[in-house]
Amino acid sequence: MSTITQYTGTFVKRDGTRRTMNFFKTSDLPKAMVNENAVDRYARSNGEIQVVYDADKKGFRTFNYGTIVGQVSTKTVNFSFDS
């Protein structure tokens, strides 16, 4: 179990629907979980798309800061990265 900052935010997907996601930034994850080459491949150079770890789906996804709705909130949680 790890104590980590969880972010919650809503953005508009390419198909026009809204998605609310609870996520962790890759910089906050245990180092063994992050392959920097894979993370860099999915990030956009303009900084709008960020690779994150989806706390609900328990996998890596992208969060689009370019189409954000409202603000991203944060809270400290205890989370287990084990399957």
Nearest CA among 2, 25, 5, 20 for reference residue 75: 5
pLDDT of 15 over the 90 cut = yes
In a domain, 76, yes or no: no
The mean pLDDT value of the chain amounts to 88
Q: Which domain holds residue 45?
A: 2-71
Specify the pLDDT at position 38. 62
Rounded Cα gap, residues 77 and 69, in angstroms? 23
Three-class SS of residue 81?
A: coil
pLDDT value at 80 more than 70: yes
Residue 7 included in any domain: yes
Q: Which residue has the higher pLDDT, 33 or 65?
A: 65
Q: Is the pLDDT of residue 37 over 80?
A: no
The count of domains in the chain is 1
Binned at pLDDT 50, 70 and 90, residue 3 comes out as: very high
What integer pLDDT is reported at residue 45 of this predicted model?
Answer: 60
Buried b (16+ CB within 10 A) or exposed e, 29-48: beeeebeeeebeeeeeeeee
